[in-house]
Structure 1
Amino acid sequence: MYVINLRYTDALEAHREYLTRYFEAGVFVMAGPKMPREGGVIIASGIERDKLDEIVAEDPFAQQKLAHYDITEFKATRLAPGWKLPEPFAER
């Protein structure tokens, strides 16, 4: 599982379309703006790091050099009651 922490300088509809594409593909499982609104966070799961790097490079923010990305891999070992791990991760 990965946390993708991005800081952006401009908002683009193309970025939202990019997010939708990878939510539908099952790679992104959670996303939203940071507060204060200086960037956002994406949670990705069930993917190898090299493939994730390729996906992040597709983001219009990355292509237009409008965001900086910090990607941190982590293994979720505890969840609050009522929360479930995404299926690809839970099977490992």
Structure 2
Amino acid sequence: MFIVTLTYTRPLAEVDALMDPHMVWLKKHYESGLFVASGRQVPRTGGVIFARSGDREALQAVLARDPFVQGGVAHVEVTEFVPSMTAPSIEALKTF
């Protein structure tokens, strides 16, 4: 499993101008099963995506096609981890 951290590098007005295509991109990867959860950071300095993938290079190729990345409004950092303990309601995360 991977934690993807997006950090905005441009003003929020520029980020918001790319929000609709970014949401379409997110939905595509939820439908494929790659993305598990996502949302804004608080304060709004970027976002976080939980991704299930055993292939860092393939994930990075997907992330490179994010409209935020292609538009130059966000930088992406990828952290891999293995969930070893979870709340009972999300125990399925341990199998990713």
Quick check: which one's helix share is greater? 2
TM over 0.5: yes
Normalised by the size of structure 2, how large is the TM-score?
A: 0.85
CA RMSD of aligned residues (A): 1.5
Partner of 1:60: 67
Deviation by residue 1:33-63 (Cα, 9 ceiling, x = unmatched): 0100111000000341010010000101111
Question: Identity of counterpart residues, as a percentage?
Answer: 36
1:20 matched to 2:27? The reply is yes
Q: Which stretches of structure 1, 4 residues or more, deviate above 6 A after TM superposition?
A: none
Normalised by the size of structure 1, how large is the TM-score?
A: 0.89
Preserved CA contact (<8 Å) 1:4 1:70: yes
CA distance in 2 between partners of 1:63 and 1:46 (Å): 22
Return 7-16 or 61-70, whichever deviates more: 7-16
CA distance in 2 between partners of 1:48 and 1:77 (Å): 19
